[in-house]
Structure 1
Amino acid sequence: QPIVLFDYQPGRGQEHPQAFLGDYRGILMSDGYTAWRTLKGATHLGCMAHARRRFADALKARKKQGGPPAQALKFFDQLYRIERQARDEIPDEGETQASYMRRFRQKHSVPVLDALKAWLDAIAPKVVPDTKLGDAVSYTLNQWEYLTRYVEDGRMPIDNNLLERDIRVFATGRKSWLFCDTVDGARASAVTYSLML
């Protein structure tokens, strides 16, 4: 049974995910923060929605619509369309859902990812680094290994949007307060939200 479990830690150092997850050996999706990548033995994934969001922000920052951010979003839209198609299809008889997803992604997603990577490599030298577009291109290229790993295993998700929907209540609520009064209070909040979801 899937669960959502919140944990409070007083900092962002690598010792916190290491203490929380210990010797976890499963799939771990994160936003690219390097502290998570210090967990040895886990299969690290990047969240495609995080990369896509950076290009969406770059598009919003433009005076004119279109251009490179819009081009990038077309690649992401293709990848998500493939995911929807894969979920709607029925695996061949005797084939597991995971093996079917892998086969479908290998056939349809990998060519799109290859085209996106070629486009990113071509545009990277032309973008100004300290811009929204520069950030989007840099982040996506730096996280490429993790962002594309989902096509290797049909059990792996393309993004963590399912979890992000679950934590939206917490993210919305935190705008109502700046700090918890104590560390114990912060931990109590994490436990309460875990029980609520």
Structure 2
Amino acid sequence: MDSTQIMSNIKLGGRLSLAYDVLVCGAKALPETLLNDSLRIFLKADYKTTLLYQLKATDIQSRIQTILNHCAELLQLVEGQPELKETPAVQTIDRFLKEQASFNEQQNQWIAKGDREISSNSLQSVHDTDATYRNKGGKKHVGYALNLTETCANDNPVQVVTHFDVAPNTTSDVEMLNQSLATIAGQGVKDLYTDGGYYSPNVVEEAETHGIMMHFTDMTGRKTSSGKLPYSSFTIEDKKTIVLCPELFALERQWKHLPHEERKQKRLEQSIPVLNAFFAWAENVSTNQEPLKKAIKYTLNHREYFTNFLLDGRIPISNNRRMPSELSL
């Protein structure tokens, strides 16, 4: 399973251009007899050039406000006329006004929001009102997210797409997977492979209720953060308890057949640097999460006990009885 972005087949413009298009579509939806002069001017062929392009950068915000005022004016004209209020063009104006402005009761006016106040789910085009905005991997996308499920067995002569979902591109991989699990399970799927971006405890739990075993890779669709380990590096029980520290246990697996004296020597040479790096991090980390604070404090207070396995190669690295034995001593 994987997802990708689908660009909407629309011409991308700025906020002012979008406001103009919204108002013009609304004005065209009104009967000629209802239009007043202040709205009729927007239907002139050359007015768009005057309004959008013959201006200074400092004029953009004031012109957006002007168009918002006209949007509010148009909505007042159709008040009490349900057959007009329910038209798609007028509904789009109503949506646009609420997304792009806030009503100031003292001024009795819709006031334009700042650019950062506008949701990524807001209207992007009058020609595709369902398209949404997303900045993913430093690239701007306006459109949709496509989630695909396909076969991946090596013995298949060909691999085929078995399921797909299309959603606003602001929809996360986790949300799309949760929405698809019942359908995928109905196709007889027992094992599902995804990248790490699909992981959440709820996904694992929901998949199990449908008889599906989740397999997550290291990939998350973004560059790996330095100093961080992927989800797949850890062994997790009960969907929430980390029972294996990847670096230390990876080393232990390499040494599990060694004589205990040789294993001790390997630990002194290779495990100590890993432990030192971990405790240095624990001593300097800053967090506001109380559970993590308590865990770090507990770890530092019991450092001596956590490092006892260095004293003798016969001492197991963990006393977690729920964990399958990592050593054959």
Q: TM range, normalised to the smaller chain?
A: 0.3 to 0.5
Structure with greater proportional strand content: 2
TM-score (norm 2): 0.24
- Identify the structure with the greater helix proportion: 1
Specify the structure having the higher radius of gyration (Cα): 2
Higher relative contact order (CA 8 A, sep 6+): 1
TM-score, normalisation: structure 1 = 0.39
